[in-house]
Amino acid sequence: MTTILVLCTGNSTRSQMAHGYLQHFAGERARVLSAGVETHGLNPKAVQVMAEDGIGIGHHTSNHVDDYAHLPIDFVITVCDSAAERCPVWIGRTKRTHYNFTDPSKATGTLDEVMAIYRHVRDEIKTFSEAFVAEHVIE
């Protein structure tokens, strides 16, 4: 089984959304984990926009990358530049992939404008996750 770790700064929003979609698309073919180089708690707006697309992440927890340092990881996906710069090194077969998604938690404006940004980033992460699983997660 393929093990994927999604890494972000705070394991609050982007990594949590990617975790949800990667697990959705991979199903039983992969074990997906997410963590941060810091922990900021699960972002309720991320939970909301994922639920709108039928993906429940409300049970996720905000974890620190050190929690998974002992595990054999096949892929580490960093979803922000900060995490890519601070990502620890896994010795062995671990492959790293990086995509810098916009941080929706930094969005400003009315609630509708902020939520539109969350949905846009969610949709980008969904597209990325589906393509990643199709390319890298083998039956």
User: Catalytic annotation on 133?
Assistant: no
Q: What are phi and psi of 30, to 5 degrees?
A: -145, 155
Which candidate in 6, 22, 80, 125 is catalytic?
A: 80
User: Catalytic annotation on 3?
Assistant: no
User: Catalytic annotation on 80?
Assistant: yes
Which candidate in 4, 6, 7, 8 is catalytic?
A: 8
* Crossing angle of helices 44-52 and 14-26, rounded to 10°: 30
Beta strands in the chain, from DSSP E residues, in sequence order: 2-8, 30-36, 75-78, 95-98
Closest CA to 17 of 29, 34, 5, 36: 34
Which candidate in 55, 87, 114, 115 is catalytic?
A: 87
- CA angle, corner 125, sides to 122 and 131, nearest 5? 145
Catalytic residues: 8, 80, 87
